[in-house]
Structure 1
C-alpha cells in the first residue's frame, strides 16, 4: 500500500474506469467503446461548431433589386414674349431599393405602395454614371458628363440630374456602374457550366468550387493539397490535376467584372413634363443587418449545454465511486489474506507518513534501535562528552 501522504486524490473530471474493473465487470467494455464514440462525436461537433461560428460572424449579404427610373422634364419650350428664360430640359435618374418579391413588373409609377424606404440614398449604390449627349448638338465638354462616387462620398442623393439648354430632342447614352460590395463577376461559359453560376462574387465562386470538389471526391487521398480534376474541371483548368493553393489564381481568367448597364434614352422637349419614366431593375446584394442579437443565443447554446454537463457530472461521480470501492476492496482483501503482515505493513506505512510530515523522513529510527553499532566502547565516551557540554552551558 502507498503512504497516505503520497496518495493523490483523483480529480472529479477523470471518467476513466480502473484497469481491473474489466476483469470483474465484463460489460464495462461497452462503456469504453461509448467513450471512444463520444470522443469522435465531440471532435466532429467541435469542428461543426467552429464552422457555424465562422459562418455566423462572416459578413452576409441579402438580395435586393435597385429599380431605376429615367425621365426628363422641360421648360420654356414654347416661344413667349413675356418669358425671358431660354428653353431648357433636365434628365433625371432616380433609384429605389426594393425587395425582390415586391419588385413587381417594370414600368410602374415611381412611388407604388409596395415600396419600402431604402436604407441608403440612390447614389450610395452607384459607383459611376456616364452620360454621352449628341455631339452635334452639344460640344466644348457639355456633351460628356461623368459622376463618380469617390468624389461625392458625403453627398449622396436620391436622384441624379443633368440640365442643359435646348429646344430639340436629344439622344443620350447612359452607362451606369453599380457599386457591388464585394465586386461581382460574370463567369465564363465553361466555369458556369460546372458551378451553375452566372454572376457571383469571388468568395462565392471559391466556396462553390470547393463544394464541387468535396461532393465529387476529387481531393487526392495521398496528397490532400492536390485536386484530381474530372472531365469538366479539366476543360476549365486545362490540366488533369491542380494544387489546392492555385485554385484562386486559376479562376482569374474565367472571371470578368460585371459590365456597366448601358441605356439609350431620348430627351423629349414636347408633350407632358415630366415624361413617363422608363424603369429598369438591377440585381444587387447589400450587407445584411447586424446579426449580433439574433445569433447570440445560438452561439451561447453551442458553447454550453447544461444537459450534457449534468450527464458528464453524473458519469464522473459514478466513476469516482468505482475508484473508491476498488481501493476499499484492495484494503479488505489484503487484510483477509494475511492480517499480521497487513497490520505491520500498515503501521510501518503510517509511521513513514508521520515522519514525512514531521520532516524526519531521512532518519531510520527502527534500524537504529536494533543496530549493534551502539554497543561499542565509544558510546560511553560520547555520552560523557555530551553531559559535560550541557553542564558547561548551564
Structure 2
C-alpha cells in the first residue's frame, strides 16, 4: 500500500497521456450563385454591390473540430471545460485549385500558432467563385511534448516512425546496451556497429554527444491531409464531412484522481496504511509457514521411513553448521535420543530458529 502511494506521487511528476479522437468537420455554403438568383431574383432597381459582395457568386469553406467525449455521463458532467479546436493545431493550411487568372485572390490561406493566440472552435475561408473547386486541408498537430518523425536511417535502427525526443534517445540507449556497444574501458565511449556507423559518421562517439547527433535525424512529422470537393451547384451538400484523427492528449481525469489520492492522505491515513502493510506482511508470513507445514506433512505421508532418515540427516548437517563441528558430532551420537537433551542443544536450536524466523519475516525482494 505504501509502495503504491509512492508510485502515485512519482507519477504526478510526469504528464499522463491518453489516446483520444479528434473529429474534424469540413463543410461549405454558397451565396449569389446563378441558381440561387433564379430562385430569388433581385428586386426592381437592385444591382450587384461589388464592395459588399451582395449578389456576387461566392462560397464559404469551414474547418471545425472537437475532441470526442468518453466515459459515463457523470464523468462528462464533472470534466473541465472542453479545449477548443485550435488548441490541438500548430499550423493549418487550406488551398484550392481555383484559376488565378480569373480570381485574383490567393489560392491558399495559412494559420500558424503564435504567442498570445486566441483559441477558437474553427476556421472559415470566404472567396468569390461560381465553379466547383478541390480543397486540400493540411493540419500540423500541436504535441506536448513535441513529437518528431525519424529519418529513414534512424527509423530502420530503432523501428520507430514518430515519437518524442526523450523516447527516441531512450530507445537508442537501449539499443546500445542490448548490443553491448559501450567501450569496455572508457564507458563514456560508444562504439558504432554497422547500422549506427552511417548515423554517427564515425567509429566511436562520446555518450554526451548522442542528443546532438540525433537532432540531425529528427524532422517535423508530416501534416495530416484532408481532401474535400466544394460544389457550388444546386446539388451542393448541405451537411458536412467528418474525419477522425487519433491524438495523444493529457489525461486530465487520471491526474486529478492521482492528486486527490495524495491530497487526501492525512497522518491518520498514513498510520492506517502502515497498519495495513504490517497486516499484509504478517498474513504473507502465515501463508508461507502454512505452505512449509503442508509440504513437510505431504513428504512425510508419502514415505515416512525415508522422510525420517532424510530429516535426521538434514538436522545433523544443520547442527554441524551451528556448532562448527566443535563438539565432534558423530552419527552414533545422533542415533541416541538423550544426545538431543544436552543443555547446549536447546540453546543451539533456539539460535537457529531465531535466525530462520528473522529471515522469513524479511519482505521479499522488490516489495
Q: What TM-score comes out, normalization by structure 2 length?
A: 0.56
Deviation at 1:95, TM superposition (A): 1.6
**Residue pair 2:21, 2:245 contacting (<8 A) in 1 also:** yes
Q: How far apart in 2 are the matches of 1:295 and 1:173?
A: 43
Distance 1:296 1:196, change over 3 A: farther
Does residue 94 in structure 1 map to residue 57 in structure 2? no
Does residue 58 in structure 1 map to residue 23 in structure 2? no
Report the secondary structure of 1:214's partner residue. helix
**Residue pair 2:132, 2:232 contacting (<8 A) in 1 also:** yes
**Residue pair 2:149, 2:220 contacting (<8 A) in 1 also:** yes
1:328-360 residue CA offsets vs partner (Å, 9 max, x unmatched)? xxxxxxxxxxxxxxxxxxxxxxxxxxxxxxxxx
Q: How far apart in 2 are the matches of 1:163 and 1:203?
A: 42
1:367-393 residue CA offsets vs partner (Å, 9 max, x unmatched)? xxxxxxxxxxxxxxxxxxxxxxxxxxx
Q: How far apart in 1 are the matches of 2:115 and 2:274?
A: 55
**Residue pair 1:225, 1:244 contacting (<8 A) in 2 also:** yes
Residue in 2 aligned with 1:67? 23
Q: How far apart in 1 are the matches of 2:103 and 2:116?
A: 26
Q: How far apart in 2 are the matches of 1:117 and 1:70?
A: 26
Pick aligned residue for 1:148 from 109, 112, 121: 112
Deviates more, 1:163-172 or 1:250-259: 163-172
Does residue 211 in structure 1 map to residue 188 in structure 2? no
Residue in 1 aligned with 2:82? 119
Q: How far apart in 2 are the matches of 1:50 and 1:215?
A: 30
Residue in 2 aligned with 1:320? none
Q: How far apart in 2 are the matches of 1:212 and 1:220?
A: 14
Distance 1:222 1:298, change over 3 A: farther
Q: How far apart in 2 are the matches of 1:148 and 1:163?
A: 18
Q: How far apart in 2 are the matches of 1:200 and 1:265?
A: 29
Distance 1:240 1:63, change over 3 A: farther
Distance 1:51 1:193, change over 3 A: farther
Report the secondary structure of 1:258's partner residue. coil
1:178-198 residue CA offsets vs partner (Å, 9 max, x unmatched)? 222222211122211222210
Q: How far apart in 1 are the matches of 2:101 and 2:241?
A: 25
Pick aligned residue for 1:286 from 249, 261, 272: 249
Q: How far apart in 2 are the matches of 1:258 and 1:121?
A: 22
**Residue pair 1:97, 1:118 contacting (<8 A) in 2 also:** no
1:235-265 residue CA offsets vs partner (Å, 9 max, x unmatched)? 4323333211111011122111113334443
Distance 1:210 1:118, change over 3 A: farther
Q: What TM-score comes out, normalization by structure 1 length?
A: 0.52
Pick aligned residue for 1:201 from 157, 164, 172: 164
**Residue pair 2:12, 2:258 contacting (<8 A) in 1 also:** no
Q: How far apart in 2 are the matches of 1:233 and 1:148?
A: 36
- How many residue pairs match? The answer is 249
Q: How far apart in 2 are the matches of 1:280 and 1:122?
A: 13
Q: How far apart in 2 are the matches of 1:100 and 1:233?
A: 43
Q: Answer with 1 or 2: which has the greater Rg.
A: 1
Residue in 2 aligned with 1:306? 274
Report the secondary structure of 2:123's partner residue. strand
Q: How far apart in 2 are the matches of 1:117 and 1:306?
A: 35
Does residue 136 in structure 1 map to residue 92 in structure 2? no
Deviation at 1:165, TM superposition (A): 2.9
Does residue 190 in structure 1 map to residue 160 in structure 2? no
1:90-111 residue CA offsets vs partner (Å, 9 max, x unmatched)? 111122224899xxxxxxxxxx
Q: How far apart in 1 are the matches of 2:205 and 2:87?
A: 41
Report the secondary structure of 1:280's partner residue. strand
Deviates more, 1:286-295 or 1:254-263: 286-295
**Residue pair 2:103, 2:128 contacting (<8 A) in 1 also:** no
Distance 1:172 1:138, change over 3 A: farther
1:186-229 residue CA offsets vs partner (Å, 9 max, x unmatched)? 11222112222101111111122223333334333432322233
